[in-house]
Every structure is written in C-alpha cells, then in structure tokens.
Chains A and B, each alone.
Chain A
C-alpha cells in the first residue's frame, strides 16, 4: 500500500468543520421551524457561518496538495 500521508491530514482537518457545519445547519433548521418568517434573515447568517467553519477543511485540502 502506498500513498501520501498529507491526505490523512486533510481527513483529520475535515472532522472539525464537519461537526461545525452540522451544528450550524441544525441551529438554522431549528430557527426556521420555530419562526418560518425569519427564514430570509437566518439564511444569510447560516451561510456565512458555514463559509467560516469550512475554512479549516479548505486549508487541509490545499496543504494536502502542497506537501506532496
């Protein structure tokens, strides 16, 4: 078996953002279920949070290719 160990780093760095994005959208769904009329406002906040939480996974992906 052969491969690049940096890819494992990407796998590890994807754990945190995975949990984080799950929490963000869980909160978003909760919010919309409780108050459907707030959907438009919550949506942009949820997507903003998603984008920020995703950053770590993206770093992992890029570094996996950098340290080849």
Chain B
C-alpha cells in the first residue's frame, strides 16, 4: 500500500498488518512454543469455569444477580437451540456440551475487544479445529452407535430415488458429512474472527500512521476517519462475535440432531 508522494518524503512507508502478526510467541520453539492465544484461552477457561461454578453452586428459586445472568445465557441454548433442533425426547443429554461450547466460544471471541487482551484465540486456526474435532467425533460416534455402519450409509440416501442415481448421491453425501461439514464449521469461525481482527488492525494502524507519521492536512482528516471506522467496526465485531458463537452452537446441534434422526 503506498500513499501519494505529496507529503511522504521523510516518513517510512506504511506496513499493512499481515497474518504473520497473529503468531505471537512467548517462549519455546516451533511446535512447542507457548503463544498469546494459548494464554488467552487458558484465561477464558478459568473465567468460564469460575463464573459458572460460583453462580450455580448456590442455585436458588429466587436467583441472585449472577445466577440470573447465567440463566439468561442458559435458557436460549437449552430451549432455543437444543430443544428446538434435537427434539424434546433426548435433548437434555447434549445441553451441557452445547452450553460449554457456547460459553467458551463467546468469551474467546469477545477477547478480541476486551481491553488489555484484545486478541481472539479463535483467530488462530488451531482453536476452531480443536473445538470442531470435539463436535465432529461426538456426532459421528453417535451416528455410528445408533445406526451401525451400514445403517448410517443407508440413512445418507434420501428415500424414493431411482437406483442409478443412488451411488452418486452417496458419494456426495459422504463428502458432505465427513469433509465439508467439519471443514466449514472450523473455517467459518476462524475466517470471521481472523478477518474481523485484521480489519480492526488495518483501520487502527492505518489511522495511527496517517495521523502521526504523515504531514499534510488531508492525512489528518483521513486518519480521524479511519479511527471512526475502527470504532464502528468494533461495534460490528461484537455483533459478529455473538453471532459466530451462536452459529457454531446451532450447527453443532443440527449435526447431532442429524445423527440421531432415523430417517434422512
């Protein structure tokens, strides 16, 4: 990115943020290094565990403020996602999984905008992959356990298809169930968090560069505009972060429901 040569004589050129900056190592080397997202994810785990234990240990019929807050998050997950999608019969078994996934994701996404942390662990692809593997293994295990290998493969084909088209549909459905679903589940979360954080970085570093390192009236105006956009995008990011945590949980519930359902 090059700014016009009008004023840029003495200043260094602007370096746009690049993906390498997301790799922030504290100590260790290579595969065994200890990085910033790991620290943040540990913080998320500790905070979520402490908060949930603290607010639900003395659960009462007339809830305290903390318990009320937990229930406000718990109710939509239990009723809105689990019950509606998995079905009233056996949704209760999967509520803890969905609730844990939602809480972890919500807080680790929000780490992107919480002051002093300001980095989403889910913006590193390893974390979405790990969470997705968790969901993936669970929904495949349920399907294999319920239907058996042959039954599972049979349930992939919609009933009433002509004979000659069934092998093609089977291949397509196997690709969907075993490759596309987990890949999109992980990449959707990663892509949204990564792109959003990158956008914030770009607006803020660009605004800082134009305000402080460039002479000329027009750069000050653009710099201020860039900062205003950063504020706007931060608000947008918060919305996206809630939405992505919700979508991940929703899709996990959908996949589990698919594994339980006996018909296609």
A-side residues, CB < 8 A to B, are 40-41, 44, 47-48, 50-52, 54-55, 57-59, 61-62, 65
Contacts and interface: CB of A to CB of B under 8 A. Distances in A.
B247 A55 contact: no
A62 B190 contact: yes
Nearest to A54: B188
Contact of A65 (B19, B85, B254): B19
Contacts of B243: 47
A51 B252 CA distance: 12
B184 interface: yes
A44 B191 contact: no
A48 B251 contact: yes
26 contacts: A44-B81, A44-B84, A44-B85, A47-B243, A47-B246, A48-B247, A48-B250, A48-B251, A48-B254, A51-B247, A51-B250, A52-B184, A54-B188, A55-B184, A55-B188, A58-B184, A58-B187, A58-B188, A58-B191, A59-B184, A59-B187, A61-B191, A62-B187, A62-B190, A62-B191, A65-B19
Given A44-B80, A48-B254, A61 B195 contact: yes
B35 interface: no
Contacts of B84: 41, 44
Interface residues of B, number: 19
Interface in B160-212: 184, 187-188, 190-192, 194-195
A59 B84 CA distance: 29
Given A44-B84, A47-B243, A58 B192 contact: yes
Given A61-B195, A65-B19, A47 B188 contact: no
Contacts of B247: 47-48, 50-51
Nearest to B81: A44
Contacts of A47: 243, 246-247, 250
